[in-house]
Structure 1
Amino acid sequence: MNKAFTEETDNDADDDGGDGAAPALPTGTKNYITPSGYARLRDELLQLMDEERPKVVEAVHWAAKNGDRSENGDYLYGKKRLREIDRRIRFLTKRLEIAEVTDPSVHHGSDQIFFGATVRYVDETGDDERTITILGIDEADSAQSQVSWISPIARALLKSREGDVVKLVTPGGAHEVEILSVSYPAPRPAAD
């Protein structure tokens, strides 16, 4: 069947993270996110809705006036980009609706590991020392040593304390890691 005659639906597989944005939430869990992570997602959503989408709609409208749409690159690319923007808007809207904003600074000074903690740990050999920050799945960036709270290392570390040795189960087998330090961001001063 010619692709031109297939129907696109609003519930494409890409809607719930299939576009590589973030993995799906495990059933029955909350979508924890820090206040700064929530603000970043909200800013991206507003930028898409208020700036980028109107520009693309205008470009598509202009291109549509130029005649044969089947060979009009501006029109075809614009429609494709519009679908991508709409898909991202739907994804961000859904994620923000179910977000559970959790401020990690409430644990400032604690040595127990909760959501938002920055943890320094070492493996059982003592050779591999790492520092990670446990964040929400929509905000964690592994390039910045951030892991989502549903990752195996985060699940092993959560609720442990500085000095504890915990078992980390990975596809390569079980390992022990020792927690060297735990820190949280300082609370922000209250606005007057």
Structure 2
Amino acid sequence: MEKVPMTARGEQLLRQELDRLLKLRPKISEAIAEARELGDLKENAEYHAAREEQGICEAQIRDIEYKLSVAQVIDVSKMDNTGKIIFGTTVTLIDVDTEEEFTYQIVGDDEANIKAGRISVSSPIARGLIGKLEGDEVAISTPGGTKDYEIDKVEYI
């Protein structure tokens, strides 16, 4: 089984969601029991809704448990800051052409959220940055063409 990289923050969020779902289990079971008492199960919308909710909840629990079982948690805050870009680092880039500044944290696929500034380690930008150093200039091939960036700052937070 191949390990999948995940930040400490990503692991914490998954564990919180798992706890929430595990606490929801008994409530769903109660809803199913109450709906059974209402009579004919064939035409009982409450029963069918509760069973569907139970199926979704159980699928989410299995999915999270699997993700946690294959996760390789990488906490960059405990690593020496060498200025080298690795999984989990937060990188500030400056577009060489427009002087526009971007800040991204390189995270696992499931944690990626471009609006929150978290890009997947398998994205073209992250692949172009991994292994580079603070102060380097990089040309990154993106679906929109090649972009030139200067690596302004690398943080291990």
Same fold (TM > 0.5): yes
Alpha-carbon distance change, 174 to 30 in structure 1, aligned in 2, over 3 angstroms: farther
* Aligned ranges 1:1-192 → 2 under 5 Å: 30-49=3-22, 51-185=23-157
Alpha-carbon distance change, 36 to 171 in structure 1, aligned in 2, over 3 angstroms: closer
* Counterpart Cα distance in 2 of 1:103 and 1:133: 12
Q: In the alignment, is the contact (CA less than 8 A) between 1:108 and 1:183 conserved in 2?
A: no
* Counterpart Cα distance in 2 of 1:78 and 1:142: 34
- Name the structure where strand makes up a greater proportion of residues: 2
How far the C-alpha of 1:143 sits from its partner, in A, is 2.5
Q: In the alignment, is the contact (CA less than 8 A) between 2:2 and 2:70 conserved in 1?
A: no
Q: In the alignment, is the contact (CA less than 8 A) between 1:110 and 1:183 conserved in 2?
A: no
How far the C-alpha of 1:148 sits from its partner, in A, is 1.7
Alpha-carbon distance change, 31 to 166 in structure 1, aligned in 2, over 3 angstroms: same
How far the C-alpha of 1:127 sits from its partner, in A, is 3.6
Residue aligned with 1:41, SS: helix
TM-score, with structure 2 as normaliser? 0.90
For residue 23 of structure 1, what is the aligned residue in structure 2? none
How far the C-alpha of 1:67 sits from its partner, in A, is 1.1
How far the C-alpha of 1:29 sits from its partner, in A, is 6.0
Consecutive unaligned residues in structure 1, runs of 5 or more: 1-27, 186-192
Q: In the alignment, is the contact (CA less than 8 A) between 1:119 and 1:180 conserved in 2?
A: yes
Aligned identity (percent) is 37
CA RMSD of aligned residues (A): 1.7
| 1:113-139, Cα deviation, whole Å (9 max, x unpaired) | 011111110223134310111122232
TM-score, with structure 1 as normaliser? 0.75
Consecutive unaligned residues in structure 2, runs of 5 or more: none
Q: Give the aligned residue type for 1:81.
A: E
